[in-house]
Amino acid sequence: MKSFLMLLVISVLFSCSSQAGYVLKGVFKGAGNGRAVLSVNGVNQQMISDTVEMKEGTFVFEGEVPEAVWATVVVEPEGEETVRMMLALENSRIEMRGDWKNLGMDENKELAVLGMQIIGSKNQDVYEQVEGQYKEVEGLPEFKKFAEMVKKVLEVPEILEDTTFYWEYRKEFDVWFARVKKEQLKIMAANPSVEMVAYELGYMKDDMTLEQLEQVFGQFDVEVQQSEWGKAIRESIELRQRIEPGRPAPEFTLTRRDGSLVSLADYRGKVVVLDFWASWCSPCRASFPWVREFYEEYREKGVEIIGVSIDENKASWEKALDEERLPWPQVIDEIEKGRSRVGGLYHVLAVPMFVVVDKEGKIVVRAHMEKKELLTVVEKVLGK
């Protein structure tokens, strides 16, 4: 009976000490008295704002978040400069430690407590590990040459105007960057239950193939996949799955300059080349001479081009049309919440971008292409 009671007491004590929410403590030597303000925005439409007193550099916030989020803590000592800090807030015991005499400008040219430590947040730890790979990899012996080139670029940015140096630097950069991503993915794979891995993958996803993205995202725990940070990746995967070769091209209707409408469906039975461009895009406009030649050669063979401008400024688009006098149909995309609607349907992240759609309305290819590549694709489609 004594053993049973002892186990019961231990069980109760354990359950009482488990962390249901967060306890965020700040300990800043020399900060004196004042206040601290905690802010979290947009957590499943929930906003957290809390203000507490700071005594002798110490303050404590307590609360709960539905999942890991980015939070801002503004420390306002009496008679001292105010400092804004960010951290990955989660439901655990977290401590921010620093010395107010170490105030200085960080690498982003913002006032910070240099050398500040954040202890107790797994998400913060993973973030620092992943982001730390940029410097860590640069410091490896095999990247000594690259590190020296980076130093030159920082000291004399104009050196990139030297074509020989630029291409050598670009070659070294690409090798370094690939290694950074490799190391970052290792860290993420080792922490599948930490929401921060989804946040970091969100910045990498657009440089990955669909297959790579699905493979990496599939390693994460279900809770991470279903988090707010995971939501953007799920949506990206679903979008890209919908525009894989062989899938029906997303239908759309947009407006010409004269107000008439153009729909993709109007051209069913023809091979359609969607040319996404913008008036401010130099490579786009540099491609028009060879696209014009392509159009003149293939329009009689059942090929049509639809130019889709992603310009936000209609006047700039119209000015470009006057200058270029393009003979194929031209429409301007609709901007929704700062993004191109149709460009979003086709996952257009940069222009120029070509999408080839076959006679049945299915996507053949979606890529940045030069004339030779486009000719090869279209000839293959026409030869079916």
- pLDDT tens, residue by residue, 170-185: 999 999 999 999 999 9
Q: Is residue 284 part of a domain?
A: yes
Q: What's the pLDDT at 107?
A: 86
User: Does position 34 have pLDDT exceeding 50, yes or no?
Assistant: yes
- Structural domain ending residue among the three candidates 207, 242, 277: 242
Residue ranges of alpha helices (H) inside the chain are 2-17, 122-131, 133-138, 144-155, 163-189, 196-204, 210-217, 222-225, 228-242, 282-298, 314-324, 341-345, 371-382
Q: Is residue 42 part of a domain?
A: yes
Same domain, 257 and 357: yes
Q: Is residue 292 part of a domain?
A: yes
User: Does position 241 have pLDDT exceeding 90, yes or no?
Assistant: yes
- pLDDT tens, residue by residue, 213-222: 999 999 999 9
- Structural domain ending residue among the three candidates 120, 147, 166: 120
Q: What's the pLDDT at 19?
A: 54
Percent of the chain residues past pLDDT 70, beyond the cut: 93
Same domain, 228 and 276: no
Cα angle 227-44-86, degrees, rounded to a multiple of 5: 80
Q: Span 334-340, mean pLDDT?
A: 87
Q: What's the pLDDT at 20?
A: 83
- The CATH number of residue 367's host domain is 3.40.30.10
User: Does position 7 have pLDDT exceeding 60, yes or no?
Assistant: no
DSSP letters of 317-373?
HHHHHHHH--SS-EEEPPEETTEEHHHHHTT--SSSEEEEE-TTSBEEEEE---HHH
Provide the mean pLDDT of the chain.
91
Task: Give the residue numbers spanning the domain of 238.
Answer: 134-242
User: Does position 15 have pLDDT exceeding 70, yes or no?
Assistant: no
User: Does position 164 have pLDDT exceeding 90, yes or no?
Assistant: yes
- pLDDT tens, residue by residue, 289-314: 999 999 999 999 999 999 999 999 99
- pLDDT tens, residue by residue, 109-125: 899 999 999 999 999 99
- pLDDT tens, residue by residue, 61-74: 999 999 999 999 99
Percent of the chain residues past pLDDT 90, beyond the cut: 86
| Sheet strand arrangement including 261-263 | 261-263, 253-255, 330-332, 303-309, 271-277, 353-357, 363-367
Same domain, 64 and 140: no
Q: How confident is the model at residue 43 (pLDDT cuts 50, 70, 90)?
A: low
Q: What's the pLDDT at 46?
A: 57
107 vs 112: which has the higher pLDDT:
112
Q: Is residue 177 part of a domain?
A: yes
Q: Is residue 11 part of a domain?
A: no
